[in-house]
Amino acid sequence: MDCTIVNAANKKDVFPDIRLYMELKTRLRIAQFYLIFPADTFNCRNMKVDFFQDKICIQTMENESSGPCYEFSLGPAYVLPATCNGLSLSEHSELHWRMQLLTDGDGGLDLDPDPDTNLTSQGQSTADQMVDVLKSSSGPCCCSMCGEKLLQKMKFHRVLPLPSEGWADFADSWFCHTHTHEHGASNSCHGNGTESNKLGDSPSENDNASKCQTDDIHHGNKHHGNKEAIDLLKKAPFCPKEDDCFVGDTYCLIHPCQISRETVERKNQSNLLNCRRCHNQIGEMMGTHLDDHLAVKVFLHAVSLKPHGNKPERVKSTEVSLTQYMLNLSNRYTSFRFIIEHRQPADKPKPYLLFWILDQCAQVALSSIGGSRSQKVKVHPDLMVKVLYQYCGDKPTNSTVSTWLQDNTVQCVDLPKSSCFSLFSSLVSSTKILPQSLRMANDFYVGYLKR
């Protein structure tokens, strides 16, 4: 099919970059295309755009003669040119159109992605998976960016999953009367309790972080009322012993003595901990000093394990780790809308980002081409997560935030402030490279995250 766009000629010898954005909607068998031209030169060029089954060709014209020819090879995404529709030219110098995809039954390739790719298997949470990894690993824990050793040792006596992040919100429902637990004082976190199989989501399970916390508080406050004891329970931190490692979905808690003082430094007298070599933020202290004997929170995306050989095995990037965490939460709660919150010390959680998952298996590609010579580039779609998001850090009275907070289908998620910033930065970076006509939808920004 021929699509010709004619404008006045230009005397420039080098044709500026042209970008092609492609989004495949495999279940609908639709391929959406956006050909993005430089705004300052597009209206001064003659060109001809040809659509083929496996490529898109752009023939430039210079002084009524043929100029460089650029070709975008569509790779596995074969289309039917005769089905081209919705052809339009936007005010942002973008040419839009869509075509029908050829599927495997039509002689094309099977492009339908596995919706469970990279998700935790058999309903296992991220914390449960990490517990298995830590139990089986005896190598050092290293910085994911430079490979510097961060912990004194990696073999823990107890590696147990933490309760869910919102456990304290349900603590009032766990107790119907005051407990003294006089008989269980020897099993407190600071005693010589034996190893258990799981740190459960309720304090009723034996020998877990929640129960250790409950035993200590009630044993020391048995004359207090039930309300006071529960309030103390909700405020009390988890305090791992020297050989303990408590694992959450995005971080693990360890004893301060496990941190290597030679390779880890405190950032500007704050509670944040950085790698001395590359200044990668690897965690934060749960007290005012490493010698306070509370706990150190180590971010899982900032570290890697070194099971074999001399070269550390790099873990997933921060973006991929956070993406998979949000997808797991979406599957767990059967929800697609989340309020990302960050908690400051001694403060209530503060809404940071509205996060709305539109498509867990979006296939998108963005390629650019240009110059004085004819060129050919292959367009390969990547599996991404399509998200609508809205920053609300500076808008505490945002009406959308208030509406979401009152909606029972919206889940609140607590993340470390550095993780909130990393997630927001990844979304903003993806939005900036999108065609301008696709960057906003109903007061939300459109972004993509790597899976």
Contact in structure between 50 and 60 (CB atoms under 8 Å): no
Of the ranges 45-59, 131-145, 296-310, 426-440, which is most confident? 426-440
Contact in structure between 281 and 274 (CB atoms under 8 Å): yes
Judged by DSSP in three states, 125 sits in coil
Q: What percent of the chain has pLDDT over 70?
A: 65
With tokens 């779609």, the residue in question is 381
CA angle centred on 408, ends 246 and 425, rounded to 5°: 60
What is each CA distance from 267 to 17, 273, 285, 302, in whole angstroms?
A: 42, 6, 11, 15
HSE-CB at 158 with a 13 A cutoff on CA atoms is 25
Judged by DSSP in three states, 108 sits in coil
Contact in structure between 337 and 411 (CB atoms under 8 Å): yes
Where does 318-416 show beta strands of DSSP type E?
A: 337-343, 349-371, 375-378, 382-391, 411-414
Confidence category of residue 425, pLDDT binned at 50, 70, 90: very high
Q: Does domain 121-162+238-315 have CATH number 3.30.420?
A: no
Least trusted range by pLDDT, from 133-142, 166-175, 185-194: 185-194
Contact in structure between 341 and 412 (CB atoms under 8 Å): yes
Quick: pLDDT tens for 246-276: 988 778 899 988 888 889 988 777 788 889 9
Cβ contacts of 368 within 8 Å, gap of 6 or more: 17, 18, 19, 20, 377
Residue type, 445: Y
Smallest CA-to-CA distance from 144 within 283, 253, 260 is with: 283
Count the neighbouring beta carbons within 10 Å of the beta carbon of residue 44.
13
Token pair, residue 415, equals 């993340």
Taking the C-alpha atoms of residue 393 and residue 331, their distance in angstroms, rounded to an integer, is 26
Task: Supply the pLDDT for residue 58.
Answer: 87
Taking the C-alpha atoms of residue 281 and residue 252, their distance in angstroms, rounded to an integer, is 14
Quick: pLDDT tens for 300-359: 878 887 654 555 455 567 788 889 889 988 988 889 999 998 866 556 678 889 999 999
Token pair, residue 290, equals 């490493």
What ranges do the domains of the chain cover? 2-106, 121-162+238-315, 167-237, 319-362+370-450
Quick: pLDDT tens for 52-106: 999 999 887 766 667 778 899 987 788 999 999 999 988 888 899 999 998 665 5
Token pair, residue 355, equals 């996060």
Q: Which CATH number fits domain 2-106: 3.40.50.2000, 2.60.40.790, 1.10.10.2120, 2.60.120.560?
A: 2.60.40.790
Token pair, residue 87, equals 């052809």
What is each CA distance from 204 to 179, 194, 201, in whole angstroms?
A: 11, 16, 9
Q: What are phi and psi of 365, to 5 degrees?
A: -145, 145
| 2-106 and 121-162+238-315, same CATH topology | no
